[in-house]
Amino acid sequence: MVSNTVALTQTVQKGGCAAKVAASELRKILNQVQFPKAHPELMVDGGLFDDAAIYKVTDEIAMVQTLDFFTPILDTPKLFGAVAAANALSDVYAMGGKPKTAMGILAFPIATMDSSVIVDVMQGASDKVGEAGANFVGGHSIDDDTLKFGLSVTGFVHPQKIWSNAGAKVGDHLILTKPLGTGTMTAALKRRELNEDQIMEAINSMATINNAVDYLTVEHITAIHAATDITGFGLSGHCMQLAKASQVSLSIKAEALPKFNKAFSCLESGFLTKAHKSNADYTLESIDTSKLDKLYNLLIHDPQTSGGLLLCVDAAQSSQIVSALKAKFQSAAIVGEVRPAQQKAVVFE
């Protein structure tokens, strides 16, 4: 039997949100599926690649539903569980909601990996679910060749306070709450060029739940017109999807983007994932990167795991909102603005 001290990243070919099916390929698949006719109460579905589904229950309550799971992105089981949970919970927060229940999704090689590994994975996840004020209520498991873990999460939001990716308004400021670079830094970890202690800035960020709502006033919340979280499709892909859903263009100042201290050195060393290329291909026709140098070009395509929220906020409130968010997200920054729709959905300055 494999020791329970096995480095989890060495048991899989790819990890975290970098293991996502390429966005362009996923769209081709979904376009061939005939989905049931939407109920009148369905407020947000998967049509615009939003972060979660929203189903109206009453005039005061809407249900937020999402799920996310992936292969190990870290070596330590408890840390992997915490990051997997924070990543799944993020989709509810990205819609302006609060998580209430979570169910585990587990694939585990029971014949070759000590069961103490999954105990630690689930404990790390359970601690994060508790931190979010939600309940871990059950789940489903299968015996599989490699470890995979995540959560299905249900939350609630007021139907009139939803943050979808389709509500951005011209003149809004763009706020990014977490630094970029988790993809390249965890790629370095997987290649054994760095260890977890050396990328702890990224681990701590990935394990931070994206609960922005509790740090904002009601006035701030209503000033947020649209949101998304930055995960496997990179800043480029998620910005493109938001711009298209909102029928606007985004202008982003590359030098304003928060990034981890080791992000550029890891990119320069060639610590890349398959998703760096697939994200670049996915956004090629829709974004303008002509003013970016090589490292920034790689950074915007870097696949984030449990990345930050991108918020589109009323310009008159943006500075106050950043100040409020810094109590939880020290790197929160204004990184651009929303402009009328142009030929390119996203322009990097």
Query: Are 223 and 13 within 8 A, CB to CB?
Result: no
The catalytic position among 17, 239, 266, 312 is 17
Query: Are 209 and 133 within 8 A, CB to CB?
Result: no
Handedness of CA 112, 114, 115, 121 (dihedral sign): negative
To 10 degrees, the CA torsion angle through 71, 232, 102, 150? 0
Q: Rounded CA gap, 44 and 208, in Å?
A: 26
Burial class from Cβ neighbours inside 10 Å (0-12, 13-18, 19+) for residue 105 reads buried
Query: Are 174 and 337 within 8 A, CB to CB?
Result: yes
Catalytic status, residue 17: yes
Q: Rounded CA gap, 101 and 127, in Å?
A: 13
Tokens of 2: 């494999």
- Name the nearest CA neighbour of 231 among 293, 261, 273: 273
Point out the residues that are catalytic. Answer: 17
